[in-house]
Amino acid sequence: MSKKEISDERKTLYYVGIGVSTIGFILFISTFFSFMNPESMFDSGPGLMMAKPVIGVLMVGGGSAIRRIAARGAAGSGLILDPDKAREDLSPWSKMAGGMLNDALEETSVKSEPIIKIKCQNCSALNDEDSKFCKECGKEI
């Protein structure tokens, strides 16, 4: 496996983080739908009714943390304090960011047209191609 590729374990962990976040979001949102049906509010009791959104928020936060660790690697996310391993874990993104930066710089760079100069027959000074008179001697070109 080259340094640019992300391992299958990290990809799987990333998708697990997405799943945990999605389940937590659904659990959190389901609390609001239970308020629409007053009969179901009291079936589970007030303690469980308030635990659902708290557990949902914790799952969303945990899923986000899992995704961050999976995307950046253990060292790249700061879980392991090893600068060399962090550089290796973050290399796909740093190379991508550098490539994007180079693309942006190439797009914004001013591309100048070639400058054509005309030599004056009287004094041999170089003048712009659209000049009617020489900038040195003043004679007509």
State the sign of the Cα–Cα–Cα–Cα dihedral 33, 37, 42, 43: negative
Contact 126, 117 (CB under 8 A): yes
Enumerate residue ranges in the chain where pLDDT < 70.
1-5, 34-49, 76-80, 91-113
Contact 28, 57 (CB under 8 A): yes
- pLDDT value, residue 64: 92
Range of the domain at 72: 8-78
Residue 106 domain-assigned (yes or no): no
- pLDDT value, residue 2: 45
Distance between CA atoms of residues 15 and 98, nearest Å: 26
- pLDDT value, residue 18: 93
Phi, psi angles (nearest 5°) of residue 126: -90, 135
Residue 3 domain-assigned (yes or no): no
Residue 133 domain-assigned (yes or no): yes
Co-location of 72 and 118 in the same domain: no
Count of structural domains, the chain: 2
Residue 101 domain-assigned (yes or no): no
Residue 65 domain-assigned (yes or no): yes
- Residues linked to residue 16 through DSSP beta bridges, in sequence order: none
Residue 34 domain-assigned (yes or no): yes
- pLDDT value, residue 1: 42
Co-location of 67 and 121 in the same domain: no
